[in-house]
Structure 1
Amino acid sequence: MTDQTSEDPRYRYPQPDFAEQPQPIPGREREMTPQPDHGEESYVGNNRLKGKVALVTGGDSGIGRAIALAYAREGADVAFTYLDEDVDARTTEQLILNAGQRALPMKLDQSSRKACDEVVDVCLSQFGRLDILVNNAAFQKSYEQLEDIPDEELTYTFSTNIEAFFYFCRAALRHIPPGGSIINTTSIQAFAPSIHLAPYAATKAAIANFTLSLAAEGIKRGVRVNGVAPGPVWTPLIPATIPEDKVPQFGANTLLGRPAQPAELAPTYVFLASPEASYVVGEIYGVTGGRMHI
């Protein structure tokens, strides 16, 4: 039995076994069992981002929703993007509004350069500034073997997962003032790739590399660029994209014996965007439940 109030990190959140729960890509929060925790009842803000404007890609669910919620409770107005999950996006929007901040949901396919550029333009026109960019949205799919990967899905994965990061950063960097921040979501897959996630893992390795090169350019403008490398996290991508028989034991191979909840990632993104991280640049923070050390 999981004790949600326990201070022991092994038992703070649900552990495997989980139910098999197949979903179509990209997955829906409301259809997951157990429901992911984004910090709705637990995250307490301290005005660390007061007066800032953040743009979070993939903010409708999972890590993106947890980031959007935390940023709002820290005093930031939040624009966020999503692919087509309208119901999930409305939930994120309401969480931001309930925190007393302005919300701007934007529906797009970020494999399109034009769409990425327009998102930055709309954010600036609606909020008047942009201080924080979080590149978080990604496409993931499992394949039994290399020959099973269709050309169009290979192209879409790279367009969505790394080319879009270039598009968003290129459009946003000239507007982010000194003291601002760009945070890229890479993955443990960049350093310990899974055989069934080759396209996704390759893009995550590219993101890690891009983060380091962009950090050297960004800091010349006073903008810090860093990355976060999550391990297994309980998000809609899991039941929607990994083999059905792998879901019950998802995250069991960490030192904690369970996957992270999105709420456990958000504080790292808050720290990296905050003035407390003024000497943190060109770093990639692993939040993997110990996986990077096994």
Structure 2
Amino acid sequence: MADYINHNNNPAEKYPAPPFGRQAQSPPGLERLLDPKADHGETSYRGNGLLIGKKAVITGADSGIGKAIAIAYAREGADILVSYLNEEEDALDTKKWVEHAGRQAILVPGDIRSEKHCHHLIAKATEEWGGIDILVNNAAYQRTYKDFGSIQADEWREVFDTNVHAMFYLCYEALPFMLAGSSIINTTSVNAYHPNPILLPYAATKAAIQNFTANMAQMMLEADNGIRVNAVAPGPVWTPLIPSTIPEHENFGKDTPMGRPGQPVEIAPIFVFLASEAASYISGATIPATGGKIAF
């Protein structure tokens, strides 16, 4: 009888858990300043040819979950348009990994709060590819507040402009260039169901994204155009946005049943699944990845 080999891939031992050291960053943060480093699947994600020949637009693909999605999609065979604000260093690193997988990476910096920029972003993709197979609305912004009175109106608008209005602009612009079998995937959050009071504006946008996804999916089904719309609801995930927007982040993720934040590489496979033919019977769904916390 062959000896039993224990391949210890226990995520609890593989990924860091709090407490983390306090670190100062300015939003939206940079990967090289993040300690401990986030895992985007650079050395671990293995593709299975699930997205060969697909063309994907991913917002916020310079770091965090967006970067992990870009790496995973590229290793599954997709070309990637990397949308990011101004984090050139991180975007170039994403580009490196996409090209290392043998796929095309198009970098498009700019502020998706601008409807004009969203038009430019989709125009760039369609000029290059002729169409879009996957749109991932992942970019998001958040701020923390100690009480309701500290929420400023301009900051409220900034969060909604980034998280909700940009999603609408991009869907509106991309839809005419998407054919049957295409997929729109939005990033909502566990905060849509269990809102954290210090993240009130952010949590409100994530609830709006959840509702938008369900409604748009029904519209696409009624239009019978073969385009699926789904969402992913992560719990706490370790990205540069955390230390740059949450001052007290030493115990980030500790309150989950798993006792730690997720890593971007743990979220990306859900986006792969939803974009692939394996999810052809799924639309209007939200898949939670919350570290064991019941999302609904």
1:165 Cα shift? 0.6
Deviation of the 1:70 alpha carbon: 0.3
1:205 aligns with 2:198: no
| Equivalent residue for 2:243, pick from 236, 239, 243 | 239
> Is 1:225–2:233 an aligned residue pair?
no
- Would you say the 8 A contact 2:233–2:289 is kept in 1? yes
2:155 & 2:42 partners in 1: Cα distance?
A: 34
The structural deviation recorded for 1:129 is 1.8
Q: 1:26 to 1:293 in 2, by over 3 A?
A: closer
How far is 1:173 from its partner? 1.1
Q: Which whole-Å CA distance do the structure 2 matches of 1:20 and 1:218 have between them? A: 45
Alignment partner of 2:89 out of 87, 90, 100: 87
Q: Identify which of 97, 100, 112 aligns with 1:98.
A: 100
The amino acid that maps onto 2:11 is P
Q: Deviations over 1:98-117 (max 9, x none)?
A: 11000001111111111111
Cα displacement string for residues 217-273 of structure 1 (whole angstroms, at most 9, x for unaligned residues): 223210010000000000011000012x3x111111111111000000010000000
* 1:56-71 equivalent positions in 2, closer than 5 A: 56-71=58-73
Q: Does the CA-based 8 Å contact 2:73-2:272 persist in structure 1?
A: yes
User: Map of 1:1-294 to 2, 5 A cutoff?
Assistant: 6-219=8-221, 220-243=224-247, 245=248, 247-292=249-294
Structure 1 length normalisation: TM-score? 0.96
CA contact (8 A) 2:40 2:65 kept: yes
Over the residues paired in the alignment, what is the CA RMSD in angstroms?
1.2
Shift of 1:50: 0.2
Q: Distance in 2 between matches of 1:221 and 1:293?
A: 30
Partners of 1:24 and 1:292 in 2: how far apart?
32
> Does the Cα contact within 8 Å between 1:117 and 1:171 map onto a contact in 2?
yes
Asked whether the 8 Å contact 2:17–2:254 carries over to 1, the reply is yes
User: Structure 1, residues 139-190: CA drift from partner, whole Å, max 9, x if none?
Assistant: 1111111111121111111111101111000111121110010000000011
Question: Would the aligned equivalents of 1:57 and 1:137 in 2 still touch at CA under 8 Å?
Answer: yes
Return the TM-score normalized by structure 2: 0.95
C-alpha distance after superposition, 1:175-219 (max 9, x if no partner): 111001000000001111111100000000000000000101223
1:182 and 1:214 map into 2 onto residues whose CA distance is 10
- Give yes or no for contact 1:260–1:289 (8 Å, CA) kept in 2: yes
Cα distance in 2 between the residues matched to 1:236 and 1:24: 9
Structure 2: which 5+ runs fail to align? 1-6
Task: Give, as a single letter, the amino acid of the residue that structure 1 aligns with 2:126.
Answer: L
SS of the counterpart of 2:86? Answer: coil
In structure 2, distance between residues paired with 1:128 and 1:293: 38
